[in-house]
Amino acid sequence: MKSVARIANLSGKGRWVRLAIVLALAGYPSLGLSAEGANPTPSNPANGSPAMDQFVDSLLARMTLEEKLGQLNQLAGPSGGAGPEARAGTEADIRAGRIGSFLGVYGAAHTRELQRIAVEESRLGIPLLFAHDVIHGFRTIFPVPLAEAASWDPEAVERAARIAAIEATAHGLHWTYAPMVDIARDPRWGRVVEGSGEDPYLGSVMAAARVRGFQGADLAAADTLLATAKHFVAYGAAEGGRDYNTADLSDRTVQEIYLPPFQAAVNAGVQTIMTAFNELAGVPMHAHRRWTFDLLRRDWGFAGVVVSDYRGILEMVQHGVAQDGAAAGELAIRAGVDVDMVSESYVRQLPGLVRSGRVPESLVDEAVRRVLRAKYRLGLFQDPYRYSDSARESSRTLRAEHLAFAREMARKSIVLLKNGGPTLPLAKDLRTLAVIGPLADDAESALGPWAAAGQPGDAITPLVGIRQAVSAGTRVLYEKGAEADGSDTGGFAAAERAAREADAVILVLGEPRDMSGEAHNRSSLDLPGVQQQLAERIVAAGKPTVAVLMNGRPLSTAWLDGHVPALVEAWYLGVQTGPALADVLFGDVNPGGKLPVSVPRTVGQVPIYYNHKNTGRPPDERDHYTSKYLDLPLTPLYPFGHGLSYTRFAYRDLRLGAARLRRSDPLDVSVTVTNSGSRAGDEVVQLYLRDEVASVTRPGLALRRFQRITLAPGESRTVSFTLHADDLAFPGADLQPVIEPGFFTVGVGTSSAELLKARFEVVE
Ligand code: BGC
């Protein structure tokens, strides 16, 4: 056992902040999550200006209690859009100053008119905020976030968010409820689709990229909007994968797995954070002061707006921690939740609670200040209409350059799971090609869930993309074969005929988009309906067959893996699904995406994630009394980080800058990667770390760096990474950060399951 050397024991501020300070004092060049930069950006909500503070304070001094609470009140708009059990806000509410922001209201003309009422007809003329879920594009829909994470390309992901912001702001929006940064280790949960998968480091890099993209360099610019890191925290840990369900985790797991993407978002300057529907170890997150205040505000110094989730405040009555709406409102305002999304608990209950002295008005004032500061930063007090400009609305939507980038993003997100033969790429001049499957021509599913203002008519389906790509002489036979769900096999015979007539078959299978997203959980990860039977019949036709999967969660497709030579993970790729897919299927583009999740063989392996602990009895096929199943292999169907290419990459010469180092020394790691095939291609070089012996158990592997590179045929490149102290640190037995001396293993390679390894030692 290693000796435990405490690196920091300062009093006062929070643990990880303390680590950062101590490491800074020790001369570390980089702190926090190095890849995304930990330094506060100019848009960090903590960076106020005296002019802003003075403006906000003088406005606050003129506000009645009701007007203050109005600023904290968010409702759906007068034209509808209210979800379950919520009232739509009216123009009378705006005039009375009872609304600070709207949910799901957009459109330049519509927002301009509502803004006009707020500015010209309410007593204080405070502008409104318009918020919406702009998750993966506004009208130009990009791949779903899980798919974008499969690109392992943060610059591209940032650019997609930037374009989403350009379109959304041109439609009057100031605020997006994205990025969703919840780590998901249970693919039954429908919202796996909305995040970046199972890994805290990849999730952190993607979170920061999206924040940068949405918020841009200058929040006051008319094409940037407030981003929201959601759902704080552990929403993805819902028991059984059932949305909204209880999460009960150790502080260690919260700290190591679920919090890092939020911290990365805060470090990137995210302006708002949304609390989660779930309880965590007995306390609903809308009341969880320990995380929402002690950690978020005090330790991390987050000074932006905390917004509740939809009716999340009032739902504390159902959770059983609040007797009624008043008690719920009090719990939430005390926990530091600033904005009440649609439950109206604040406007209804807080006037009485403040006047009776139960809730100090200073709590309300602080929340209002944060909302007013956000409006100030957006420039709305200078020009409340700057986002509601009809000319911009039409000129910025679905631009050719946006569509071109949507195609590029979609190509980057595709993961080649298997390519026996090789079967892919297919020739464009086949005589006859059969395209079969319920998702081949499903435009809605191409868009995926949470598609903002996306319209199925904008989406190019796989079938259309394939038709556009093949040679003029190629006959494309299309048969749906079956519905995505249900038991009707009536279409099988025609599909089988098409397969027999064809020189090759592309089978497009998976889940329709309404099987993913909020409250869309499944207890099975199999292909729904009769799709596997359809695949069995098509494979029996004996033609070269490629299966393309469309889905928002990993699916357990062991049968396909065993029987179809080529398998492509295409997620939901957005408006350019068809062209991007065709680019890959016919070889104009060489796929380079990697899985951001482990794909289980069956749902019985869930939860399955690569960064699990060793246990005292690590799985061993030869030893019965080890941690495994009798009826399943140890490994997932496809490991985290897996993804093939039409070329081959060889790894050699893993080199470490030192075999022994002090805790404050950086460590250079390099590896040489060669494209040993005959086509240019992208590879994601992944670096994992393992702390071999520590005072608390550590994951077998943890991703610490990655880089997506492009290599010409025959080209070799030496890829270098530098690790710093924070990469070696972990929460010790008392949850304070520590770097312990001893041996570490570095693994570098093409996936979490295929690594070159080396060791180094950290000395006192
Ligand atoms: C979801 C949030 C979303 C909100 C507003 C809720 O049901 O959990 O992620 O931002 O609705 O649409």
Amino acid at 167: E
Q: CB–CB of 185/236 below 8 Å?
A: yes
CATH topology of domain 414-605: Rossmann fold (3.40.50)
Establish whether domains 414-605 and 649-763 are of one fold: no
Is 391 buried (19+), middle (13-18) or exposed (0-12) by CB count in 10 A? exposed
654-711 residue pLDDT tens? 999 999 999 999 999 999 999 999 999 999 999 999 999 999 999 999 999 999 999 9
| pLDDT band at 9; cut points 50, 70, 90 | very low
| pLDDT band at 59; cut points 50, 70, 90 | very high
pLDDT for position 78? 73
Tell which one of 133, 135, 181, 278 to mutate to probe ligand 1, the residue whose CB is within 8 A of the most ligand atoms.
133
Tell which one of 310, 315, 520, 521 to mutate to probe ligand 1, the residue whose CB is within 8 A of the most ligand atoms.
310
Closest listed residue to residue 301, CA positions, set 36, 19, 11, 47:
47
pLDDT for position 2? 39
User: How many other CB atoms are found less than 10 A from the CB of residue 598?
Assistant: 29
| Alpha-helical segments (H) within 414-486 | 443-447, 462-469
Q: CB–CB of 578/460 below 8 Å?
A: yes
pTM of the model: 0.95
Is the model's pLDDT at 267 over the cut of 80? Answer: yes
Rounded to the nearest whole angstrom, what is the distance from the C-alpha of residue 286 to the centroid of ligand 1? 14
Rounded to the nearest whole angstrom, what is the distance from the C-alpha of residue 309 to the centroid of ligand 1? 6
* Residue range 54-74: mean pLDDT, rounded: 98
User: What residues are annotated to the active site?
Assistant: 309
The atom of ligand 1 lying closest to the CA of 194 is 9
- Report whether residue 230 contacts ligand 1, using a CB cutoff of 6 Å: yes
- Residue closest via CA to ligand 1's atom 5 equals 310
| pLDDT band at 3; cut points 50, 70, 90 | very low
- Residue closest via CA to ligand 1's atom 11 equals 310
Contacts of 41 (CB under 8 A, 6+ apart): 212, 217, 268, 269
Rounded to the nearest whole angstrom, what is the distance from the C-alpha of residue 418 to the centroid of ligand 1? 36
- Residue closest via CA to ligand 1's atom 6 equals 310
- Report whether residue 518 contacts ligand 1, using a CB cutoff of 6 Å: yes
Rounded to the nearest whole angstrom, what is the distance from the C-alpha of residue 154 to the centroid of ligand 1? 24
The atom of ligand 1 lying closest to the CA of 228 is 10
* Residue range 383-399: mean pLDDT, rounded: 95
Domain boundaries, the chain: 5-63+72-393, 414-605, 649-763
- Report whether residue 214 contacts ligand 1, using a CB cutoff of 6 Å: no
The atom of ligand 1 lying closest to the CA of 230 is 9
Per-position DSSP letters for 262-303, written without gaps between them: HHHHHHTT--EEEE-SSEETTEEGGG-HIIIIIIIIIIS---
- Report whether residue 522 contacts ligand 1, using a CB cutoff of 6 Å: no
| pLDDT band at 87; cut points 50, 70, 90 | confident
Rounded to the nearest whole angstrom, what is the distance from the C-alpha of residue 277 to the centroid of ligand 1? 9
Q: CB–CB of 78/90 below 8 Å?
A: yes
- Residue closest via CA to ligand 1's atom 10 equals 177
Is the model's pLDDT at 38 over the cut of 80? Answer: no
Closest listed residue to residue 644, CA positions, set 593, 579, 608, 695:
593
Q: CB–CB of 706/655 below 8 Å?
A: no
CATH topology of domain 5-63+72-393: TIM Barrel (3.20.20)
Compute φ and ψ for 214, nearest 5 degrees: -65, -45
**64 token code pair:** 């009645």
- Report whether residue 133 contacts ligand 1, using a CB cutoff of 6 Å: yes
Report CA Rg, the chain. Answer: 26
**457-491 b/e (C-beta count within 10 Å ≥ 16 → b):** ebbbbbbbbbbebbeeebebbbbbbbbbbeeeeeb
- Report whether residue 244 contacts ligand 1, using a CB cutoff of 6 Å: no
**348 token code pair:** 């209804």
Rounded to the nearest whole angstrom, what is the distance from the C-alpha of residue 43 to the centroid of ligand 1? 24
268-297 residue pLDDT tens? 999 999 999 999 999 999 999 999 999 999
535-565 residue pLDDT tens? 999 999 999 999 999 999 999 999 999 999 9
Q: CB–CB of 278/238 below 8 Å?
A: yes
- Report whether residue 309 contacts ligand 1, using a CB cutoff of 6 Å: yes
- Report whether residue 310 contacts ligand 1, using a CB cutoff of 6 Å: yes
Is the model's pLDDT at 4 over the cut of 70? Answer: no
- Report whether residue 514 contacts ligand 1, using a CB cutoff of 6 Å: no
The atom of ligand 1 lying closest to the CA of 277 is 8
CATH topology of domain 649-763: Immunoglobulin-like (2.60.40)
- Report whether residue 194 contacts ligand 1, using a CB cutoff of 6 Å: no
| pLDDT band at 46; cut points 50, 70, 90 | low
- Residue closest via CA to ligand 1's atom 8 equals 309
- Report whether residue 106 contacts ligand 1, using a CB cutoff of 6 Å: no
